[in-house]
Chain A
Amino acid sequence: MSVPFILFFTCSAIAVLGALLLIIAREPIHSALALILVMVSLAVLYLLLGAEFIAAVQIIVYAGAVMVLFVFVIMLLNAGVEQRTNYSKLAKFAGVPLGLFLLLEVGHWMWRSAIGSTIANGPGALSQTSISTPDLSKLLFHDYLFPFEATSILILIAILGALVLAKRGE
């Protein structure tokens, strides 16, 4: 057992636990904390994969901004304990089992699929060098310039939408 393995397994265990907690917790805040946990551990995994920049962005944007927003809203609305109503029989009897099935299915497939194995010893799999941020930025601002602009417009629209909705809310 080398360091990367230990890191990987601990972090993945934390992530899965966090996800589980997210599901079973009744207190929205707890769910939020669990999700933050998942995100942080994912960030560590990104580091393990050599994507430092992504890791940083993951924490800054997701954990640092989005989730703060969530927590903020939870506090604002003072969201109490979630009541487990079951108006939707379909969701109760079909949905959850199917979701479980989906989980197992995809997981199993990923595990033993040829894709997984080929990737396991794929070209980049064994190289531990971290991804250089300049290359990433080149890619982002040259090859993907148009999508980038598009997303910026998307964000602008999102801001406006949020403003309008909030105003109406008041």
Chain B
Amino acid sequence: MISFGPTEEQEVARDAMRDFAASAIRPIARRCDEESQVPAEFLEQAWQLGLVSTQIPEAFGGGGETRSPITNALVLEELAFGDAGLALAAISPALFAMPIVEFGTEAQQREFLPLFCGDTFHAASLALVEPGPCFDPTGLRTTAERKGDSYVLSGVKCFVPLADRASHFLVLARNGGDGADAVQAFIVPRDAAGLAIASPEKNLGLRALPTGTLTLERVEVPASARLGGDAGCEARRIVNLSRAAQAAVLVGISRAVMEYAIPYAKDREAFDEAIAKKQAIAFTLADMCIEVDAMRWLMWQAASKLERGLDATREAQLARIYCARQAMKIADDGVQVLGGHGFIREHPVELWYRNVRMLSVLDGAALV
């Protein structure tokens, strides 16, 4: 049944996130960008929202809510409306925990999930992106070779969120064969022999989110460290979830641009009237309104397919392609509507312009 109506629980969650974004995220976003860091107290504050723990089974101390890609989509849009960098920092433990909830062996779940059910923020992360031109999540170069009772991982990973503090990394690596399905995930502790961590990286955008580079030189992990054990994990679904999440964050930033540009254009005068009364500006704002809607429904469509456990490869890809393009245009137009003020750091639009360009090229790397 085709429906655009969130459940009451989803509306409650969305409104809570909207309040949090307004009260706790937006006020510190600029400072965190200028200082290229996420305050520890913010991570603790966000932790209290239970973004991660609520979706962990009760057996391991979590809230036991079944994971909902749709709810995540609603939550992510709101958090990203506040600030994408801080939003991704706050949910980054999910990059590690959620795949374990979804694909982990009982032993893996018993060992790791309790880490994310405590009262304080626990950092863990995912290592997907690799350096070099034209990164493609289906063309990973990092390898994992079976060697007796263990796997040997070799390769370089970059843009790893919270690499500076993560206790464990979920490292995606080619495990024989080609394409998305050949990829498997491996749990690597921070202190693994042969693992070198360089952090922070210097990025164009999302500066509030510290990222790092992992160099894996024949890092040996036990066979039990492969996510899902012998069964392994469905890497394609991980990438699809990631693309849908990326789209949700892009919708949030785009809406932020629109809601900032509209009052600005009504307030700002040129040639003796509000610039919003010029068709060129007014139609630009109308296009933002059209596209924020279109982007959201396309992103919901992917999330809904994922929620049903169906193969959403097509829907997630289309949502990613469309949202990446439209978000870039909206942020770009937002700068133009503000003119000179779109170019200076007294207004948030230049920050959103950088964040969109950065995020929209992180194909597959924004998994939650």
Binding partners A and B: no
Q: Which residues of B contact A (CB under 8 A)?
A: none
Q: Which residues of A contact B (CB under 8 A)?
A: none
